[in-house]
Amino acid sequence: RPVVFSGMQPSSDSLHLGNYLGALVNWVALQDTYDPIYCVVDLHAITVQQDPAALHANVRRTAAQYLASGVDLERSTLFVQSHVPAHAELAWVLSTITGFGEASRMTQFKDKSAKQGADATTVGLFTYPVLMAADILLYGTELVPVGDDQRQHLELTRDLAGRFNSRFGDTFVVPEALIPTESARIYDLQEPTAKMSKSANSEAGLVKLMDEPAVTAKKFRSAVTDTGREVRYDPAGKPGISNLLDILAATTGRSIVELEIEYEGRGYGDFKKDVAEAVVERLTPIRARTLELLEDPAELDRLLAIGAEKASERAERMLRTAYDRVGFIRRG
């Protein structure tokens, strides 16, 4: 079975609707045909400042949300990135074949660093895409299911794999991105031109998997729209309404056109209420299951240890090959 690799950062107490619709739903579907490796990428999370106690809790919370969303340990490998040191080790090697200018062109770095200011921005945030390349290349990954916001990082991964192979001999599989076409990107409800993000500035625009249903409903009620009245799909002219249409289409499986027809001549109020209901219905069982899993942290840790064991074995084999190719000698 072809390998897929993907991960999310434990950078918040909850994943959000973009993580879910843009990635997790796809992760679950892939289990039927692929050999998936799903990772809680804690090394990535510390590229922006995290509170240690919060991070500690969020690693398990993130893993629990994967499981509650349908990641199945019979068919997938689930582990925590810092449990497999090969990720950091291969990232170092890859950083030595990454151009400074090349890394400087990453738009996520530019966005995040602009928000934080130059003094708060770390070298780790800058080299984040190189670590992501290591994550993917360690497992001979063929497909990487990610949201549209990761397209550029995946392009860099492909370039690095190709460059390493041509310089040192065929080693890495050059992976493909698997980006869901429908609603690949979900936007902030308060700022519908900015992608929904765990590290977003507005809590009100962020739809969290772990929010209580009433909170979710309220966030949709106060979602920013526009002064018009038509529920029409027009991402440039009506970003708020278009985002809500994408969300409703993705949660119900109905088409945008069908939804436009249904809401013709009805106000935004009705429409927003229905979007909220559809989302709450979808997220409620996931939230309940997550809370249940979190009641037994020892069991979660046991499952994560099994995953780390499986992942380590594969990752170390690839790291050793890469070290050999570079010319390192093995420890005698």
Catalytic residues: 112, 195, 198
Q: Give yes or no for a contact between 23 and 41, defined as CB atoms under 8 angstroms apart.
A: no
Closest distance of CB 85 from ligand ATP, Å: 21
What tokens were used for 131? 């670590």
Show contacts with ligand ATP in window 161-190 (CB under 6 A).
185-186
- 197, 225, 242, 290: which one contacts ligand ATP (CB under 6 A)? 197
Other CB atoms within a 10 A radius of the CB of residue 85 amount to: 14
Q: At what angle do helices 86-95 and 297-326 cross, to 10 degrees?
A: 40
Annotated ligand binding at 135? The verdict is yes
| Nearer of residues 191 and 324 to ligand ATP, judged by Cβ | 191
| Nearer of residues 158 and 319 to ligand ATP, judged by Cβ | 158
Q: Give yes or no for a contact between 59 and 80, defined as CB atoms under 8 angstroms apart.
A: yes
Closest distance of CB 73 from ligand ATP, Å: 20
Closest distance of CB 194 from ligand ATP, Å: 9
Q: Does 8 bind ligand ATP (CB under 6 A)?
A: yes
- 3, 4, 19, 28: which one contacts ligand ATP (CB under 6 A)? 19
Q: Does 207 bind ligand ATP (CB under 6 A)?
A: no
| Contact range with ligand ATP by CB under 6 A, out of 28-36, 193-201, 223-231, 253-261 | 193-201
Contact set with ligand ATP (CB under 6 A): 6, 8-9, 11, 16, 18-19, 22-23, 146-147, 149-150, 185-186, 195-199
